[in-house]
Amino acid sequence: MDKQQKAKHKKKLLDLRENILDKVKNIQKEYLNKSPQEASGNLSGYSFHLADLASDNFEREVLLGLAENERSMLIEIDMALNRLKERDFGKCSDCGKQIRSKRLLALPYALMCITCQEEADKNSKQG
């Protein structure tokens, strides 16, 4: 992989990282740093209807799950940026072959080539 390609992948990874950080910050700001009353807009001292409370709790759980997924993706992106520095970027972690450029453009933090990823997915579904 030449310098121009590496720079292109690095920029894509950094842009993706920044986008995800913004999403996580927004989730924290808008929902997770607020009490259930603040999040629902009910600032009175009166109790909630149980269905409303359950719905709000479910929404918070979904947002927590989304934030956790985004954080996991940040870790994968940081690992890909490290592989760029170490000159291992674009090599399949399983077979060692070069990952196709199209795959890296679609999924810049990919660890495996399509063939190895499909095999890993198949094995994880079986066991």
Domain of residue 99 covers 90-127
Do 112 and 92 touch, CB atoms closer than 8 A?
yes
| pLDDT tens for each residue of the chain, 127 residues long | 788 988 999 999 999 999 999 988 887 787 766 665 555 555 554 556 677 777 777 888 888 888 889 999 999 999 999 999 988 899 999 999 999 989 998 999 999 999 999 999 999 988 6
In degrees and rounded to multiples of 5, residue 102 shows phi and psi of -60, -40
pTM assigned to the model = 0.74
Q: Do 78 and 36 have their domain in common? A: yes
Q: Do 85 and 104 have their domain in common? A: no
Q: Do 18 and 67 have their domain in common? A: yes
